[in-house]
Structure 1
Amino acid sequence: MHIRILGAAAGGGFPQWNCNCPNCGGVRRGELNARPRTQSSIAIRGADETAWTLVNASPDILAQLQANPQLQPGRAYRDTGIRNIVLTDSQIDHTTGLLMLREATKPWPLWCTDNAFADLTTSNPILQVLQRYCGIDRQRIVTGEWFAVGGNEDLRWQAFALPGKPPPYSPRPPELGDVIGLIVEDVSTEMRLCYAPGVANIDSWLFELMSSAQCVLVDGTFWTDDEMLRLGVAHKRAADMGHLSQTGGMIQWLDRLPATTRRVLIHINNTNPILVEDSPERALLNQHSIEVAYDGMEIVL
């Protein structure tokens, strides 16, 4: 199983277009040892090098496809290595890129939960718009049930519900299943990836699921719960936005995983000091054997 990090940043990317926080201003001026990142998305394939599944469609999808030629096999005038799309929620940061994929030559097989499908066909009807272009072949994700996606039959997938909230544009009240994580398993080797870019908290059930994976690619949005408040760029805490900060418990939970488990943080907000590679915060993560995802990073299991 090959996992390609297309984008490692949270919403807005890094640097964010309208942000002059110490991180964004510093990297824009070339004063920080930090690399820019696009908004969170990954691609996964099994043995077939030309059959990738896109997990979440970032607003930066076109730049990400240009930066990852593996996703363009070039077998015809109109071609792509993306066979399927899987969504973990209906947030704008994870779905806007769908509109950029409208030139596809056939309907997209798109996997999502009923909650996400409701949002994307009513309050933010992206899928209705796409039906007028390439079309959508919607496939239903039911949490707890294994499923397979076309072209990647050597991989099997399972979604699990996470505490979270629907997007701000959605009129629905929050309910379990608005946000999901994914277990992806190589059928032949039984190697597993646990992917959860949005985690509000971790309990014993979720920790057991994470412990079953050889790689955990997990929410790295904020360093502290009050990060945005202290900088004066937002009026909410990390917990209010559905994210468990590194110092609020994430590091401690990752420390408890088996020693052989690879730990990687993704969906990193532009304010998070771990983006600076020679920062004290990054040094602390290194001491705990926790990696920070970057655009173009490849993980092989």
Structure 2
Amino acid sequence: MKAIVLGAAAGGGFPQWNCGCRVCAMAWNGDPRAPWRTQASLAVSLDGANWTLLNASPDLGSQIRATPALWPREERHSPIGAVILSSAEIDHVTGLLSLRERHAFDLVALPPVLDAIAANPIFAAVPARRVAASASAPIMLAGGLAAELFPVPGKAPLYLEDQDPKLESEAGETAGVRISGGGRSIVYIPGCAALSDDLRTRVDGADLLFFDGTLFTDDEMIRAGVGQKTGRRMGHMPIAGDDGSLAWLSGLPVARKVYIHLNNTNPALIAGSPERLMIEAAGVAVAHDGMEIEL
């Protein structure tokens, strides 16, 4: 089984188009320690001919053009057979509009995410067969893969929030995905607000885990002067701290662990930074665009 990181950054990409924070400034200035990253998405295949995308970022068109494995092989063709959505956030679904040119594929998500898609008429232009997943049964995909979707603690997309949003909901607004095939498994969780017993069970024994690396510290955006919300308020637990994800990941029985969906303010984006070195010392990698992992 092969995984290709199409994009590794959180919403807005890196550097973010309107941000000159310390981390983005390094990228704008061409510092080789801070290479540019597009918005998070993953491509997975077992046979090399049929590919499943995990989320469809706004950068999907350029990501496909940068990835030969996803190029058409005849006059009208695409090896993309399915797109799995982990949430209905803007940076996870907007790329669907780049797949509207009459190529049929399966769009797989938990019911709350499909409901959000169905409620927006713009997505009627996307010729996908919508497949409602459940946490109790796998979905079979082209090329011999199977996908299991399961709720993880999170929240509704920002554009669907009410006055008092539930921040650690497990009703299916945010999902993790376990892709299996050929005796191997990959778990993809680009958004997670908190750890839960079910989450620990779902990732146990995976060969590869991509996990939410949005912010290094919970108040990172506030301290950088570019936002007023904590990471947890946005539905993302921090990397650092006794209750952060790194402490959990470091002891997790998973062969390979990778942070993905990194916000533009996250100093872990900088190679050689103290934050990156701390992550790597714990046995966890940081994703970059074009990263390929074969299992």
Q: Taking structure 1 as the reference length, what is the TM-score of the superposition?
A: 0.91
Give a deviation string over 1:222-275, Cα, whole Å, max 9, x none: 0000000101111100111111111131111011112x6211000000100011
How many Å apart are 1:171 and its aligned residue?
A: 5.6
Residue 9 of structure 1 corresponds to: 9
Task: Name the structure 2 match of 1:139.
Answer: 131
Alignment of 1:125-274 (within 5 A): 125-130=121-126, 135-149=127-141, 151-152=142-143, 154-170=144-160, 174=166, 175=169, 176-186=171-181, 188-189=182-183, 191-248=184-241, 249-258=244-253, 261-274=255-268
1:145–1:158: 8 Å Cα contact kept in structure 2?
yes
Q: Give the Cα–Cα distance (whole angstroms) in 1 for the partners of residues 136 and 211 of structure 2.
A: 19
- Find runs of 4+ consecutive structure 1 residues off by over 6 angstroms: none
After superposition, give the CA deviation of every residue in 1:195-246 in whole Å (9 maximum; x if it has no partner). 1000111123312322221111100100000000101111100111111111
Native 8 Å contact 1:50 1:73 kept in 2: no
The amino acid that maps onto 2:79 is: G
Is residue 294 of structure 1 aligned with residue 288 of structure 2?
Answer: yes
In structure 2, the partner of 1:22 is 22
User: C-alpha separation between the residues in 1 aligned to 2:123 and 2:92?
Assistant: 13
What is the CA deviation profile of residues 154-188 of structure 1, one whole-angstrom value per residue up to 9, with x for unaligned ones?
A: 221111101111112226765421000011112x4
Q: For 1:139 and 1:240, how far apart are their aligned partners in 2?
A: 30
CA distance in 2, matches of 1:113, 1:271: 30
1:113 and 2:110 aligned: yes
Q: How many percent of aligned residue pairs carry the same amino acid? A: 40
Note closer, same or farther for the CA distance 1:171–1:22 as it changes in structure 2 (3 Å cut): closer
Q: Please report how far the alpha carbon of residue 96 of structure 1 lies from its aligned counterpart in structure 2 after TM superposition.
A: 0.5
Equivalent residue of 1:254, what SS? helix
Worse-matched range after superposition: 135-144 or 8-17: 135-144
Whole-angstrom CA distance in 1 between matches of 2:175 and 2:288? 22
Which residue identity does 1:11 align to in structure 2?
A: G
1:22-44 CA deviation, whole Å, 9 max, x = no partner? 11112111245111100000111
**In the alignment, which of 268, 273, 277 is matched to residue 279 of structure 1?**
273
Task: Supply the distance in 1 between the matched residues of 2:249 and 2:92 (Cα, whole angstroms).
Answer: 25
The size of the alignment, in residue pairs, is 288
| Aligned AA (1:295) | D
What are the Cα deviations for residues 121-149 of structure 1, in whole angstroms up to 9, with x where unaligned? 22x3342233xxxx221111112321111
